[in-house]
Structure 1
């Protein structure tokens, strides 16, 4: 991601975050979201979630004042963004082993690199894709899922924005969010969410920021705790929670 609007900040002056115009604040929100700081909608509007996300970023990367931003902060932020592995990084998605390696790499890249976290992400993909380790669409077991869903899910907010990926990305607002983050037209071409490299980013980013249910993986699994059962709340309540927890323990033993 290349910053273009924030780079126009005048040199030598600090601007309070709440005084940024909508375009600049929207770009900052996009950058923070891409780096894994959950702040809700990318709308260019200032609020406590944006304030807290910027403050966390400032603390994590030793930037300046958590309430302001200047040209130096923007330059450092661009440097941080440049270190994020692009979604077109070369991975072998043709085999289960290659996909597992890609998931491990992306977890490390997005800051979910603890073995217990990686194990849970792998177990979730195993379950959600019916052991295929390939992106799937909602109702993928049907011969023509798109026709079925168009008929049975007429809501313009849901169809054609039904579930796709290693974990199901659903609803138009989420497709819009990842369109902004990835620079892809997922709104007009929602099938792009099934591309392995796109599904990989969404999988890990969603676990980190709580996209799927509002719950983050770190709420249940981090260096202090390992709750593989309740971690299922990140995706779908407690549906199949025990079975997925067992799979996570099995993956953990291999890491």
Structure 2
């Protein structure tokens, strides 16, 4: 990496989420290009920030670029990556951001031999036993407010250590809560370490949640966002839950 002239990252709404990679890039003074469809603050930290917030997926942006820059047809390997990017960014083509261009890309990938069933299985039907155990703990601790429209849960370091789970085992937990009947906004608070926690928001579309994430220094999409809160869990959780509840109530006055 130290000999690189340019590092290119994709779909990174917050540069700090790259963690060790960011540290290396900073240490070596490498220029960084970010290709993304998330809104960014002015102090995003990238040398070049190519953003199209109207694009349903970063994979759509990559496909558009390749269409202009590449004379040869796309290989199956390239299509595997593009299909995966578009599928995951659109919730398997279910989210409201899904448009006809997403489906046209899917058709192109199918015509190039992409095994869509295999990709789906590898991403969504490959849960480790550790993940299922932590998910069970998370489900058992779900709380509700605002007549069931706001639901949240907390995953502590103790639970993570109990099952020897990692951050990768936590993907999709907020989406699970959002799928509960009557829930409009879902929140999951993860204890990252003794001094900080991560928060993930998901909305079914009635309320925006990126404004809530921004209030904690994060960001993301209108209906899917997150942040890192640099406070211990015991100190932060009440503030996070109350602020989220208050912002939902503020929007209730306009919805």
Q: Could you say which TM-score interval applies, normalised by the shorter chain?
A: under 0.3
More contact order relative to length (CA 8 Å, sep ≥ 6) = 1
Structure with the higher helix share, 1 or 2: 1
How high is the TM-score relative to the length of structure 1? Answer: 0.23
